C-alpha cells in the first residue's frame, strides 16, 4: 500500500485524525483566502488549510515545483503540470503533515483555521461541459417525454454531452437567485416571462481536467485518465419549466446557465485510488463501446465507488435526506468522457470542468433530482416535518456530500456543495 493511504498514518494537525472529509489520507487541493489575505492555493487537512506556496521551500523536486505552481489564485498552473508533480506533491505533503514530521515547526505557521477562510473557485474554468452519463436519470427524464422509449438510440453509443456556461459557475455557499425566463405550461397557449416555477437541482460529479491536448489531436482512451486532475461535487441547478420550452432543438440554455455550484476542494485521483472499481458490466444486449472508448484497464479500474447524498434544508426544518446514490451508476467512465470529448479534435485545457450528468440509482431513494423524485412535480413529496415539495422553494438550501469508504482504508469525503435559493428579483 502507498504510504499516503496507510490507515495508521495520522497528522499532527489533531482535527485531521478522524475527520469525516479531510484526514491526512485525502489532501484535496483548493484556492482559499485567509481573513484579509490574498487568494492562494491550499490543501485541506482536518479543520485547517495549509498554504502551499508558503511551504514550497520545504519541499524538493517535482513536489516543490507543484507547490510553487499552486501559489497563485488559481490551480490551472498546477493542473497543467500533470500527474507526476501532483503525485509528488501528495507524497511530500503527507510526510510534511504526518505525526512526527521533522518540519512541523516550519509548517504550523502556515496552517489556517478553515472556519476563518473563504474558499474560491479552484481554477479559471476555460470551458465547462456537462455530460449525461447517469443512465437512470436519462431514463427517468426521458420517460416524461417518451414513456415507452425513454432512451434515445444514441445513448448507449455516445457519451452524450453539451457545452455549459463557464462564467456562472460558483463556489459552494453562493446563493442562487431564482431565474426568470420564458415558461409555457401545456395548459397555456403562449409563453410568459417570469420567475421559474419548477426550480430543481441536479446531483452531479465534477471532473477537473489537468493536462490538455492540442487542437486536432484526440486523447487516446488508454491515456485519458492521466488527463484528470481531480474531482468535485457539482449542482447543475435547472429551471424545468424554462428548459421544457426552450431546449428544442439545440439543448438547454437559460434553464441551466443562471448558476452552477461546485464544491471547493479538488479531490485527486491519487486520493481516490483505493476507491476505484470496475465499470459495471453493461446489461445483456447493450452494445460494446466503440474502440476509441474501449480500454480493458479502464473497464477494470475506471469507475469510482463513492456514496453521494442530497440533503434539503428548508426555512422550517431539516436538513432532510432526499437521496443517496453512488457514482458507480454512471454508464460511462471518466476516461471515456475525456476520450470522447477530444475524439473529434476539440482541445481540452487545464482547468476545464466536466459535469458527469445527474447521478441516480435505479431505485427512488437514489434519484438525483426533484424532476425524478416527484415525477415532474406530479407526485409531491412530504418532508419529515410535514412540508410538501414539488420543486425548490425560496429559502431552500440544497446540500450535496460524497463519501469514499472501503475496508482497510480511511474513509474520505469531499466537503459540501451547498446553495440557497433567493427569490427572483
In terms of CB distance, is 163 or 321 closer to a second copy? 163
Examine residue 193 and tell whether it contacts a second copy (CB under 8 A).
yes
Active-site choice (136, 137, 340, 341): 137
For the bound state, the minimum distance from the C-beta of residue 139 to a second copy, rounded and expressed in Å, comes to: 12
Examine residue 253 and tell whether it contacts a second copy (CB under 8 A).
yes
Examine residue 1 and tell whether it contacts a second copy (CB under 8 A).
no
The answer for residues whose C-beta is within 8 angstroms of residue 379's C-beta and 6 or more apart is none
Examine residue 21 and tell whether it contacts a second copy (CB under 8 A).
no
CA–CA separation, 148 and 263 (whole Å) = 37
Please say whether the beta carbons of 60 and 96 come within 8 A. Answer: no
CA–CA separation, 75 and 52 (whole Å) = 11
Examine residue 217 and tell whether it contacts a second copy (CB under 8 A).
yes
For the bound state, the minimum distance from the C-beta of residue 254 to a second copy, rounded and expressed in Å, comes to: 4
For the bound state, the minimum distance from the C-beta of residue 396 to a second copy, rounded and expressed in Å, comes to: 17
Which stretches of 45-122 are DSSP H helices?
A: 52-55, 61-69, 76-81, 83-97, 104-107
For the bound state, the minimum distance from the C-beta of residue 377 to a second copy, rounded and expressed in Å, comes to: 19
Name the grid cell of 304.
Answer: 469510482
For the bound state, the minimum distance from the C-beta of residue 352 to a second copy, rounded and expressed in Å, comes to: 7
Examine residue 346 and tell whether it contacts a second copy (CB under 8 A).
yes
**Phi, then psi, of 310 in degrees rounded to 5:** -120, 125
**Phi, then psi, of 42 in degrees rounded to 5:** -150, 170
Is 163 labeled as catalytic in the residue annotation?
Answer: no
- DSSP assignment of 24-38 equals TTT--EEEEE-TTS-
In terms of CB distance, is 60 or 194 closer to a second copy? 194
Examine residue 294 and tell whether it contacts a second copy (CB under 8 A).
no
DSSP 110: G
Which parts of 355-414 interact with a second copy (CB under 8 A)?
Answer: none
For the bound state, the minimum distance from the C-beta of residue 239 to a second copy, rounded and expressed in Å, comes to: 7
Please say whether the beta carbons of 78 and 66 come within 8 A. Answer: yes
DSSP 161: E
* Site string (52-91) toward a second copy, x via CB under 8 A: ----------------------------------------
* Residue position matching grid coordinates 472501503: 406
Name the grid cell of 399.
Answer: 446540500
188-215 core/surface letters (b: 16 or more CB in 10 A; e: else): eeeeeeebbebbbbbbbbbbbbbbbbee
For the bound state, the minimum distance from the C-beta of residue 191 to a second copy, rounded and expressed in Å, comes to: 5
# binding residues, a second copy (CB under 8 A): 64
In terms of CB distance, is 120 or 184 closer to a second copy? 184
Name the grid cell of 243.
Answer: 428548459
Examine residue 185 and tell whether it contacts a second copy (CB under 8 A).
no
Please say whether the beta carbons of 238 and 266 come within 8 A. Answer: no
CA–CA separation, 223 and 45 (whole Å) = 30
User: According to CB under 8 A, which one of 80, 166, 278, 383 is a site residue for a second copy?
Assistant: 166
In terms of CB distance, is 83 or 160 closer to a second copy? 160
Examine residue 149 and tell whether it contacts a second copy (CB under 8 A).
no
User: According to CB under 8 A, which one of 8, 105, 115, 167 is a site residue for a second copy?
Assistant: 167
Catalytic residues: 137
- Write out the residues near a second copy by the rule CB under 8 A: 126-127, 132, 142, 152, 154, 157-158, 160-168, 170, 177, 179-182, 184, 190-193, 215-218, 239, 242, 245-255, 257-259, 287, 290-292, 340-341, 343-349, 352, 422, 425
Amino acid at each position: 500500500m502507498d504510504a499516503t493511504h496507510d490507515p495508521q498514518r495520522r497528522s499532527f494537525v489533531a482535527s485531521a485524525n478522524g475527520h469525516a472529509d479531510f484526514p491526512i489520507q485525502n489532501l484535496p487541493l483548493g484556492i482559499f483566502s485567509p481573513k484579509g489575505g490574498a487568494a492562494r492555493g491550499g490543501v485541506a487537512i482536518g479543520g485547517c488549510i495549509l498554504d502551499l506556496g508558503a511551504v514550497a521551500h520545504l519541499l524538493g523536486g517535482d513536489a516543490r515545483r507543484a507547490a510553487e505552481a499552486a501559489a497563485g489564485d488559481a490551480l490551472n498552473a498546477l493542473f497543467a503540470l500533470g500527474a507526476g508533480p501532483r503525485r509528488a506533491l501528495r507524497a511530500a505533503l503527507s510526510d510534511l503533515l504526518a505525526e512526527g514530521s521533522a518540519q512541523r515547526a516550519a509548517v504550523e505557521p502556515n496552517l489556517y483555521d478553515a472556519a476563518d477562510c473563504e474558499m474560491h473557485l479552484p481554477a479559471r474554468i476555460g470551458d465547462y461541459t456537462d455530460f449525461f452519463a447517469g443512465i437512470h436519470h436519462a431514463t427517468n427524464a426521458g420517460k416524461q417525454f417518451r414513456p415507452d422509449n425513454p432512451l434515445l438510440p444514441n445513448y448507449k453509443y455516445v457519451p452524450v454531452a453539451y457545452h455549459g456556461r463557464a462564467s456562472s459557475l460558483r463556489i459552494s455557499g453562493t446563493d442562487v437567485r431564482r431565474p426568470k425566463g420564458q415558461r409555457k405550461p401545456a395548459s397555456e397557449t403562449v409563453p410568459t416571462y417570469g420567475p421559474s416555477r419548477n426550480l430543481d437541482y441536479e446531483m452531479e460529479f465534477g471532473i477537473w481536467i489537468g493536462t490538455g491536448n492540442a487542437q486536432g489531436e484526440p486523447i487516446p482512451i488508454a491515456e485519458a485518465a492521466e488527463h484528470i486532475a481531480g474531482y468535485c461535487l457539482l449542482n447543475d441547478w435547472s429551471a424545468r419549466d424554462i428548459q421544457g420550452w426552450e431546449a428544442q432543438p439545440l439543448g438547454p440554455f437559460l434553464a441551466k446557465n443562471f448558476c452552477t455550484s461546485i464544491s471547493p476542494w479538488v479531490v485527486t485521483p491519487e486520493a481516490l485510488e483505493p476507491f476505484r472499481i470496475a465499470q459495471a458490466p453493461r446489461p445483456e444486449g447493450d452494445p460494446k463501446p466503440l474502440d476509441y472508448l474501449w480500454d480493458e484497464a479502464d473497464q477494470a479500474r475506471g469507475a469510482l465507488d463513492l456514496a453521494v447524498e442530497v440533503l434539503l434544508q428548508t426555512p422550517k426544518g431539516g436538513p432532510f435526506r432526499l437521496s443517496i446514490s453512488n457514482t458507480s451508476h454512471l454508464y460511462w467512465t471518466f476516461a471515456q468522457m475525456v476520450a470522447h470529448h477530444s475524439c473529434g479534435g476539440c482541445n481540452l485545457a487545464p482547468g476545464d470542468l466536466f459535469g458527469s450528468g445527474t447521478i441516480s440509482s435505479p431505485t427512488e431513494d437514489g434519484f438525483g433530482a426533484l424532476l425524478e423524485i416527484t415525477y415532474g412535480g406530479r407526485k409531491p413529496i412530504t418532508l419529515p416535518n410535514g412540508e410538501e415539495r414539488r420543486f425548490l422553494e425560496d429559502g431552500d438550501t440544497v446540500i450535496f456530500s460524497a463519501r469514499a469508504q472501503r475496508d482497510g482504508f480511511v474513509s474520505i469525503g469531499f466537503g459540501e456543495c451547498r446553495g440557497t435559493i433567493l427569490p427572483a428579483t
